[in-house]
Amino acid sequence: MSDTESELVFETVLDAPPEKIWRALTIPEYRDRWLRKPDDVSVHLETVNANSLLTYRWKERNEESLVTIELTPHENGGTGFRLTHAPLVIPAAANSNETAPTMLRAA
């Protein structure tokens, strides 16, 4: 880990089609079963692009962060799963000069 690293990325391949994973991520009864969030965290579904991209807004006491999950279908029936957890800024915008589409706090 570098000293200025400020986000976490996890990647894996899931043995299920994107539509099924999507239900596990977005239907609250399913989500609660795998997520088991800490008691002091509240989670809100923030942006959605069905079956491919979602963001949970992650509130923990005073800190807010974003959990972004990207799903990529594979030809063999599996699905690429990429989870990014970062403070405040949509990671895709971090290296551009454009205003991030979802800034949680104004500077």
Q: What is the binding site for other proteins (CB under 8 A)?
A: 1-6, 8, 10, 12, 14-16, 20-21, 23-24, 30, 33-36, 62-65, 81, 83, 85, 87-89, 93-97, 100, 103-105, 107
SS3 assignment, position 53:
strand
> Do the Cβ atoms of 66 and 102 come closer than 8 Å?
yes
Q: Minimum CB separation from other proteins for residue 49, in Å? A: 19
- Output 53 or 100, the one with its CB closest to other proteins: 100
Q: Minimum CB separation from other proteins for residue 71, in Å? A: 12
- Output 43 or 47, the one with its CB closest to other proteins: 43
Task: Check the CA dihedral 25-94-103-64 and report its sign.
Answer: positive
- Output 62 or 75, the one with its CB closest to other proteins: 62
Q: How far is CA 95 from CA 3, 70, 91, 92, in A?
A: 18, 18, 8, 7
Which one-letter amino acid corresponds to residue 27?
Answer: I
Which one-letter amino acid corresponds to residue 31?
Answer: R
Query: What does DSSP assign to residue 86?
Result: E
Q: Minimum CB separation from other proteins for residue 57, in Å? A: 13
Q: Minimum CB separation from other proteins for residue 76, in Å? A: 16
